[in-house]
Amino acid sequence: MTPPLLLLSFLVYTALLFVVSVITSRRSTNEGFYLGNRKSPWYVVSYGMIGASLSGVTFMSVPGWVGTSQFSYFMIVIGYLFGYFIIANVLLPLYYRLSLTSIYTYLEQRFGFWSYKTGAFYFLLSRILGASLRMFLVIWVLQNYIFNAWGFSFWLTVLIFILLIILYTLKGGIRTIVWTDTLQTTFMLLAVVLSIVLITKDLHISFSGMISQIFASDYTNIIITDWTPKNNFIKQFFSGMFITIVMTGLDQEMMQKNLSCRNIGEAKKNMITFSLVLVFVNFMFLFLGATLLFYANNKGIDLSALASSDDIFPTITLKYLGPIAGLIFFIGLISAAYPSADGALTSLTTSFTIDFIGIHKKSHLSEKAKIKIRYMVHIVIALVMMAVILIFRAFYDKALIDKLFTIAGYTYGPLLGLYAFGLFTKLKVRDGLTPVIAVISPVLCYLLSEYSEELFDGYKFGFELLIVNGLLTFTGLLAASRKAR
């Protein structure tokens, strides 16, 4: 694949998104930006959320992970399913009953000002870091395979990508994203399926033959029974369940799409349908990873020289499978990247304007003035994400999905503890202590993670650190609580 051809495909794809943006952002208002006027069809939201949930990190990291972790990631996916069931039956009814735009206003109603701001802050921190990490991976590929050929600096590539996302999300917000995510999910899934087809064709193996050979290999090992490593199956299952609860159910970006549905019934159908399909889609990514490794072994491709397991998918498709496979991979990658970037930017704008500026309470401002403030916040947050992406470049040394879930363990843990305390107790918190507790808990988790092997006879914390973080936050809130009057 030549850089000009890759650039052309990138520009054509981006232009298509702008066409959708123009159509969906007509007569846009703040209500349309935040919640799509609560008129989004549930099945469209459900399908589009697949792309938003997976992102460019999943697109490259999950296939690359198979070489070292086999299919053990699938236990996390099974945990996802149980997490989505809890969201559909516990959190969604709460959000609809309270008619929330920002889900963090629940914390203000339940505990008070400081708890509310703490929850909103941790969402901003979590989503900025997570979304920036997802965008970094895609921009890294754009840089290596397109913009290096023209001598562009990495920061300039980041700026171009950020500007494009600002432009097509600035007006329409969630109304635009619901429909662009649908388009992007389609291209991403097609890329996975077609990549598998092209690999089997190049190896002159039937699809059924490939399935037989992969399932006869060690790649498909799902259950790791050894208790000490990070990917023990019990750890993976519960980590997946709680990762879903916090990264979807307590995340403004994902819940904002659910809240744009017409009613709670449709929102539940959206969540259940989405969760079932996502199990199958994640298995497809794992199967693709095994297919890539099988191809490399048969062709004698040395993967040990690669800087990261994230490079396996792009290396094989762009260097060995020919221009069609390279183009399919590239379209799939940017299809996976845009949903996580545009949705994050919209939700961060929503959270900051409502949770920190309190724009919905400023009745003295005209609708035009509120939109202007929203535009400014949108642009500033995008520039912050750009800065974070540049920082991530210095730490790119292993599979990014591992980094993503590690970050989630530290930043989403306090949110998990806050919501669990609010939902499952009737106690009131000494509101002013909440920020202190929310800082101490991640610090204690970091120390536990660093010294766990010495303290617990070789035990290594994995993604279950999120659960520990939430439990520590819950315990701290309990110690600082008082009975409700």
Is pLDDT above 80 for 407? no
Say whether 320 sits in a helix, a strand or coil.
coil
Between 37 and 141, the more confident residue is: 141
SS3 content of the chain, % helix, strand, coil (to 5): 80, 0, 20
Here the contacts of 202-207 (C-beta below 8 Å, separation 24 or greater) are 202/295, 202/321, 203/294, 203/295, 203/298
Is pLDDT above 60 for 484? no
- Token reading at 259: 């809240």
pLDDT per residue as tens digits for the range 79-129:
999 999 999 999 999 999 988 878 899 999 999 999 999 999 998 888 888
pLDDT at 138: 76
pTM listed for this prediction? 0.79
The span from the CA of 157 to the CA of 140, in Å, is 9
Say whether 456 sits in a helix, a strand or coil.
coil
Backbone angles phi, psi at 426, to 5 degrees: -110, 15
Between 395 and 263, the more confident residue is: 263
The span from the CA of 316 to the CA of 203, in Å, is 13
- Average pLDDT on 155-171 reads 81
- Token reading at 362: 């400023």
Structural domains in the chain, sorted by start = 3-398 (1.20.1730.10)
- Token reading at 400: 């990014």
Cα atoms found within 13 Å of the Cα of residue 461, Cβ hemisphere only: 23
pLDDT at 111: 93
pLDDT at 465: 83
Is pLDDT above 60 for 37? no
- Name the least confident of 190-204, 399-413, 449-463: 399-413
Backbone angles phi, psi at 38, to 5 degrees: 55, 45
CB 289 within 8 A of CB 277: no
The span from the CA of 111 to the CA of 246, in Å, is 19
pLDDT at 56: 62
Task: Identify the bridge partners of residue 360 per DSSP, sorted by sequence position.
Answer: none
Nearest Cα neighbor of 160 from 395, 334, 400 is 334
CA distances from 200 to 205, 211, 275 (A): 5, 10, 29
- Token reading at 453: 């092997």
